[in-house]
Chains A and B, each alone.
Chain A
Amino acid sequence: MSADMSKHLTLHTSETVAENRVEPNFVKPYGDTMNDGRVQLSFTLPVALDENAKEAARQLALEMGFDEPAVVHAEDMGQGFSFYVLYGQCKHRVDLSRIKVAKPEFETLDKDAINALIAEKMGRKMVVVGACIETDAHTVGIDAIMNMKGYNGHKGLESYHEVRAINMGAQVDSEELVARAIEEQADVILVSQVVTQKNIHLDNLTRLSDLLEAEGIRDRVILVVGGPRISHELAKELGYDAGFGTKSYAEDVASFAINEWIKRHTA
């Protein structure tokens, strides 16, 4: 949890804009007093619990940038492991005014407006081919976006009369997906990646975009990836047009897609 959070922070701070100087707007964690920096933290050490181990936990928190860290709970876990809960005061602060998180630029429209826009601008159905690729078998996410039923009361792309939605399902080889996209003359390719262990998703996604390049159709399709650990930023780094994380719905993707299509075809 905490490791994840710090990763996000570094990612975001690296996305700073040097130009237009604005008033700095520093922020740090809040407990009960502005700028007290209070943070909670928990972790395991691979040593049995004793006073030295407890002190090691405290010193680690110091190294992580906490002032006055306190080990509020320490417990032996057996087999030479021990568990710690700590509180401390974060020394660091971040300038909010210098942060710019990459976001796909579009306005989310509702289903009727999307259908109308497709009809007006494309004059035909938008073809969307989707799959959960390679080793990944988690289809619930891509189904949520594509299938009739949708998710959380948001209908899926199949229910859009101006969209032809083809959901290829689970563990689809990149080759198969690309072949189908060519055959169907897809405007949009949607891929889902849920499993991220050992960064398997990065390999899979790179493989797919390389293949699209090799087939010479990368520029002809709008390439979108989604999944719970996917950000737009990551997607862009991998050469995708957009990335969608948790709580995204069909109308978000469809709005982006038609927006992007219009941009490409009026440029």
Chain B
Amino acid sequence: MSQLNLDQGQIDRARESARRIAHRVFDDMSQYTTTTVERATLRLMGVDGVDDNQIPLPNRLVAHLQEQKLLAHGAASVVAGAMAEHALTAQQVAEAVAAGKLVLARPKHDKAARQSAEAIAAKMCEHIAAQRAVRSQQIDKVGEARTPWLYLIVATGNIFEDIVQARAAAEQGADIVAVIRSTGQSLLDYVPYGATTEGFGGTYATQENFRLMRAALDEVGAKIGRYIRLTNYCSGLCMPEIAAMGAMERLDMMLNDSMYGIIFRDINMKRTFIDQFFSRMVNAYAGIIINTGEDNYLTTADAFDAAHTVLASQLINEQFAYISGLKPDQMGLGHAFEINPDLENGFLWEVAHAQLVRQVFPEACLKYMPPTKHMTGNIFRGHIQDALFNVVSTLTGQNIHLLGMMTEAIHTPFIQDRFLAIQNAKYVFGTMRDLHDEVEFKAGGRIESRAQQVLAETVGILADIEKIGLPAAIGRGTFADISRTMDGGKGLDGVIAKSPDYYNPFPDLMLAGAN
């Protein structure tokens, strides 16, 4: 489709503001690590499993390091030192510590300990790189769908039931399957272990569940001749650990926002900013596409009035993503079709917003969310709302297309809800495949003017945020009309100031190798 006439100077200015905003946060936070960053590091060094009380060994080991006042040096070299000294694997060190048979201390030979930590880390990086290669090979072999990719959720609470639903969804046409997480997992300060069958409104994210679902999707993908992408939630108090598990088990996408946890889960700001950096770095290295959560703003704020906050947040998310080594095609920046259906010309404004985002991020793998807030018990009208959403998605060239369910206001999807949603999307995508090539925006028309207006407001709000800094802006309720403070929220106790000799082998290895 012809492009909207937008002022490139404004786009550049907005992006520059966002860059400075993100870098300032990153610089302020780089003096800290967190308990979950260290646990993720241990997982990546091979520590897994739980003790008799179902407490994960990475938690036991990190708690021990905290007691011994060693965590500020970084878990990696301390554990590598113990491995060398006692001729144990990382897992055996964790088991011995959990059994009370081993008390850790600073390594006798710090340099040697670092070197061996680096060697272990390099091996894990090889494994993750190999998983990345498997993904490419499979896509070459079985092929992949055209965009917009159809994204469906499963949420039974039981991984084995999820697998049944996911296979059916793939056979019906889903390109991406997301396993919704159990309510409340984001606030657990550990990752549950093993296959799980008793989630609530979703299924626990565990490494074993990742593995089971991956195998099922590979199998059905081979059968139907399409690589099926697997998605989970890299958010909450254990972002870095989930990233590590997903990288090991070849997930393809992760919900991984730089601010969602702060705003919607009341997780501490420092904690989130530190954790998002590490988790995104792992995702970048693993070739995982992240999804950001700006669409959520529009469930609490008004989609028309707050359109510029979505674009501003996407620009900030983009800059945080660059810092972690993510490439534009790994950035599933989120936005949504959430304008009140009663608003006259609302559809025009939806086109304007979606096309604006497309043009500001031409290479990004945009994630477009369906109507949710204004869905009602009238499922017949809902099906039409979803159809209109499908039109905007194909017309403006979105990449990741979350399927809207006509029963959105009632329950988590039944199998036929998904079935009908896929038919709806396929119909619209097929019958309008090349429409975007055939129509042009009227210069100076309503759609173009609206996009220009939102862009101008975005430049303004980013300039304001830059003046006061991101934490203060969040404090003022800039995003989603929700306000948070630097020292409020959950998980602050897991934020630890690094000592000058802090060491972690992964940033050097992963940031260099993300290309």
Q: Is B299 among interface residues, defined by CB-CB distance under 8 A?
A: yes
Could you tell me the distance between the alpha carbons of A246 and B378 in the complex, rounded to whole angstroms?
13
Q: Is A77 among interface residues, defined by CB-CB distance under 8 A?
A: yes
Binds A, one of B207-215, B249-257, B279-287, B413-421: B413-421
B409-439 residues at the A interface, CB under 8 angstroms: 409-412, 414-416, 419
Could you tell me the distance between the alpha carbons of A42 and B122 in the complex, rounded to whole angstroms?
55
Q: Is A216 among interface residues, defined by CB-CB distance under 8 A?
A: no
Q: Is B304 among interface residues, defined by CB-CB distance under 8 A?
A: no
Could you tell me the distance between the alpha carbons of A68 and B411 in the complex, rounded to whole angstroms?
30
Chain A contact residues (Cβ within 8 angstroms of B): what range? 20 to 34
Cβ contact within 8 Å between A78 and B410: no
Cβ contact within 8 Å between A1 and B200: no
The distance from the CB of A29 to the nearest CB of chain B, in whole angstroms, is: 16
Cβ contact within 8 Å between A195 and B164: no
Could you tell me the distance between the alpha carbons of A135 and B201 in the complex, rounded to whole angstroms?
11
Cβ contact within 8 Å between B183 and A77: no
Chain B window 370-411, contacts with chain A (Cβ cutoff 8 Å), 1 for yes, 0 for no: 000100110100000000000000000000000000010111
Which residue of the partner chain, among B200, B300, B376, contacts A140 with CB atoms under 8 Å? B300
Cβ contact within 8 Å between A135 and B172: no
Q: Is B171 among interface residues, defined by CB-CB distance under 8 A?
A: yes
Chain B window 183-196, contacts with chain A (Cβ cutoff 8 Å), 1 for yes, 0 for no: 11000000000000
Cβ contact within 8 Å between B299 and A4: no
Within 8 Å CB of B496, what residues of A?
A: none
Interface-centre pick from B183, B373, B409 (highest chain A CB count, 10 A): B183
Q: Is B50 among interface residues, defined by CB-CB distance under 8 A?
A: no
Q: Is A106 among interface residues, defined by CB-CB distance under 8 A?
A: no
Q: Is A52 among interface residues, defined by CB-CB distance under 8 A?
A: no
Q: Is B335 among interface residues, defined by CB-CB distance under 8 A?
A: no
Residue in A closest to B264 when the chains form the complex, CB atoms? A137
- How many residues on chain B are close to A (CB under 8 Å)? 26
Interface-centre pick from A44, A79, A83, A140 (highest chain B CB count, 10 A): A79
The distance from the CB of B399 to the nearest CB of chain A, in whole angstroms, is: 25
Given A1-B379, A140-B300, verify A81-B412 contact (CB < 8 Å): no
A180-214 residues at the B interface, CB under 8 angstroms: 195, 197-198, 200
The distance from the CB of B153 to the nearest CB of chain A, in whole angstroms, is: 14
Q: Is B167 among interface residues, defined by CB-CB distance under 8 A?
A: yes
Could you tell me the distance between the alpha carbons of A139 and B266 in the complex, rounded to whole angstroms?
13
Q: Is B168 among interface residues, defined by CB-CB distance under 8 A?
A: yes
Within 8 Å CB of A239, what residues of B?
A: none
Within 8 Å CB of A1, what residues of B?
A: 379, 407, 410
Cβ contact within 8 Å between A139 and B300: yes
Within 8 Å CB of A43, what residues of B?
A: 416
Cβ contact within 8 Å between A78 and B168: yes
Cβ contact within 8 Å between A198 and B200: yes
Within 8 Å CB of A195, what residues of B?
A: 183, 201
Interface on chain A toward B: helix, strand, loop, or mixed SS?
mixed
Interface-centre pick from A137, A170, A195, A197 (highest chain B CB count, 10 A): A197
Cβ contact within 8 Å between A135 and B184: yes
Given A83-B416, A140-B300, verify A78-B183 contact (CB < 8 Å): no
Cβ contact within 8 Å between B184 and A81: no
Cβ contact within 8 Å between B416 and A4: no
The distance from the CB of B146 to the nearest CB of chain A, in whole angstroms, is: 20
Which residue of the partner chain, among B172, B200, B264, contacts A200 with CB atoms under 8 Å? B200
Could you tell me the distance between the alpha carbons of A42 and B167 in the complex, rounded to whole angstroms?
22
Within 8 Å CB of A83, what residues of B?
A: 416, 419
Within 8 Å CB of B300, what residues of A?
A: 139-140, 143
Residue in A closest to B379 when the chains form the complex, CB atoms? A1
The distance from the CB of B165 to the nearest CB of chain A, in whole angstroms, is: 9
Sorted nearest first, the 4 A-B pairs with minimum C-beta distance are: A78-B171, A79-B168, A44-B416, A83-B416
Residues of B within 8 A of A (CB): 164, 167-168, 171-172, 183-184, 200-201, 264, 266, 299-300, 373, 376-377, 379, 407, 409-412, 414-416, 419
**19 further interface pairs, Cβ-Cβ under 8 Å (given A197-B201, A197-B412):** A1-B379, A43-B416, A44-B416, A77-B168, A77-B415, A78-B168, A78-B171, A79-B167, A79-B168, A79-B171, A135-B183, A135-B184, A137-B264, A139-B300, A140-B373, A195-B183, A197-B200, A198-B200, A228-B409
Can you sample 27 A-B contacts with CB below 8 Å?
A1-B407, A4-B410, A43-B416, A44-B416, A44-B419, A75-B419, A77-B172, A77-B415, A77-B416, A77-B419, A78-B168, A78-B172, A79-B164, A81-B168, A81-B415, A83-B416, A83-B419, A135-B184, A135-B200, A137-B264, A140-B373, A143-B300, A195-B201, A197-B200, A197-B201, A228-B409, A246-B377
